[in-house]
Structure 1
Amino acid sequence: MKLVKLIANLGYGSRKDVALMFREGRITDPQGEVLYADDKVSHADIRIDGEPLDPPAGLVLMLHKPVGYTCSTKDPGRIVYDLLPPRYRLRSPLLSTVGRLDRDTSGLLLLTDDGALLHRIVSPKSQLSKVYEATLAHDLRGDEAGLFASGTLLLESEPTPLAPARLEVVDPRHAALTLTEGRYHQVRRMFAAVGNHVTALHRSRIGGLELGDLPSGDWRALDAGDLDRLFTPVGAT
């Protein structure tokens, strides 16, 4: 791929903008030598204003989504893309969220421009578990774990029972719920079905990948090891 197209596809500007960057000498190698648009050089050896080029297509990000942000590109309020460098919204192929977290849910959100990987993660065949930490308005009754694990719970207006889910009680008003499917507002609707209300919700893990101590609003690119952990069942050796 020609350098102008490569850099434009990473969101640094239109091809015209990138061509101007070359003319201005802003694109160099690691030693500061000016590069030209027809040079043959590896991705890792390109600098823009002295900074390494963003990762190529195949990018996967982990974002600690704060409450108050949506996963849409068109919402008039705050969106998760506001937490990334502005050029990330202009990448081609597009950088998309892997599933969604609603505005009032915080925690682990993945984004990628790899369509095949995105579909693998969200596919029911992958059976990737997701862990949600819920704060509740009322004390748990005590029978929720059995009901959630039974595979018989029906949500309002849905004809198919939920797949079994694991509930771990932290204290009477805090619990961790592990799901292997992702229906609309599923965690909130599950607790509503047993007469409770979720006042705060946080996703802490997808597959074997944990959010860890990544600060709220921060993000990082995932490497091959992270992706291996994502698809490694929890507890597997």
Structure 2
Amino acid sequence: MAAAEALAPREGIRLNKRLAELGLCSRREADEWIARGWVLVDGQVAHMGQPVLPDAQIKVLPQATSAQDERATFLLHKPVGYVSGQPEDGHEAAVVLLQPGNRWKDDLSPRRFTPAQFKGLAPAGRLDIDSTGLLVLTQDGRVARALIGEDSGVEKEYLVRVVWAPNGPQGPGVVEQGVQAVVPAECLARLRHGLSLDDQPLKPAQVDWLNPEQLRFVLTEGKKRQIRRMCEAVGLHVVGLKRVRIGNVLLGKLPQGQWRYLLPGETF
């Protein structure tokens, strides 16, 4: 029996998935590198769809990393009224704000803006149409994987202005000032841990009062309209939401509607 097990073939995984798991690139980038002959497996040029074993020696040629270094990542202070992804319902996509005239005057990056930086550019995470703050748009698969990959645990920090609306925002009993004083303590406890959305329990969150009308949220996940739905579940209604941090990257003084490049050495 042992001999038979020893002779059984070991299963491999697709090379593009393995490269992504190693944090080297996205699967799409991996396919591009493989197609260009920039990846070697056990000393041989790899081919598309190739399975690899866990102990395979994988080498990425310098051409691949040079091409990757040319990929741009933009940090945009998204205003209300723009959608993160494709245009919808008559609203423009935030990418239209990436114009030379909207580049922040205090951007420290030496990079020059070129039309080529729009190729393959996509938002790494969403920000609701009625929310403002830090939005990342990138060509770099490493950045996308870090922020929205299945195993991503990057923190996102939000400043959230709320009103107490246990009967809905148009119902009786709405409190707009001194909200902290009327919200039961158990509501804050449920926001921190104990809520579910879409029949899935939410991960623990950091939630604290910054002032009587504003909460600070720190999340490590990003379900659709998550904070608004969390607040509604405990009788609160969001009237303003701003994302101020993603991982180690701060919105800082970046003006609304303007953008800057992610700096070399700046990581999430």
* Structure 2 unmatched runs, 5+: 1-67, 101-112, 165-178
Picking from 214, 222, 235, the partner of 1:174 is 214
Q: CA deviation at 1:92?
A: 6.0
Picking from 178, 187, 206, the partner of 1:144 is 187
Q: How does 1:36-47 map to 2 (within 5 A)?
A: none
What amino acid does structure 1 have at the position aligned with 2:97? L
Q: What secondary structure is seen at the aligned counterpart in 2 of 1:225?
A: coil
Checking the alignment, whether the CA contact within 8 Å between 2:163 and 2:236 is kept in structure 1 is yes
Picking from 58, 71, 95, the partner of 1:81 is 95
Checking the alignment, whether the CA contact within 8 Å between 2:145 and 2:152 is kept in structure 1 is no
Checking the alignment, whether the CA contact within 8 Å between 2:73 and 2:262 is kept in structure 1 is yes
Hey, what does 2:80 align to over in structure 1?
67
* Structure 1 unmatched runs, 5+: 1-54, 231-237
Hey, what does 2:235 align to over in structure 1?
195
In the alignment, the residues of structure 2 paired with residue 216 and residue 174 of structure 1 have an alpha-carbon distance, to the nearest angstrom, of 20
Q: CA deviation at 1:215?
A: 0.5
Picking from 144, 154, 165, the partner of 2:196 is 154
In the alignment, the residues of structure 1 paired with residue 245 and residue 207 of structure 2 have an alpha-carbon distance, to the nearest angstrom, of 14
In the alignment, the residues of structure 2 paired with residue 111 and residue 221 of structure 1 have an alpha-carbon distance, to the nearest angstrom, of 10
Q: CA deviation at 1:172?
A: 2.4
Question: Structure 1 residues 192 and 171, CA, compared in 2 at 3 Å: closer, same or farther?
Answer: same
In the alignment, the residues of structure 2 paired with residue 120 and residue 79 of structure 1 have an alpha-carbon distance, to the nearest angstrom, of 23
Over the aligned positions, Cα root-mean-square deviation in angstroms equals 2.2
Hey, what does 1:125 align to over in structure 2?
151
Matched, 1:207 2:207: no
TM-score scaled by length of structure 1: 0.66
Checking the alignment, whether the CA contact within 8 Å between 2:75 and 2:260 is kept in structure 1 is yes
Report the number of matched residues: 171
In the alignment, the residues of structure 2 paired with residue 66 and residue 218 of structure 1 have an alpha-carbon distance, to the nearest angstrom, of 9
Picking from 124, 128, 132, the partner of 1:102 is 128
Question: Structure 1 residues 223 and 173, CA, compared in 2 at 3 Å: closer, same or farther?
Answer: same
Checking the alignment, whether the CA contact within 8 Å between 1:129 and 1:179 is kept in structure 2 is yes
Could you give the per-residue CA deviations for residues 152-196 of structure 1, whole angstroms, max 9, x where no partner exists?
A: 2123xx222110001110122201111001111000000000011
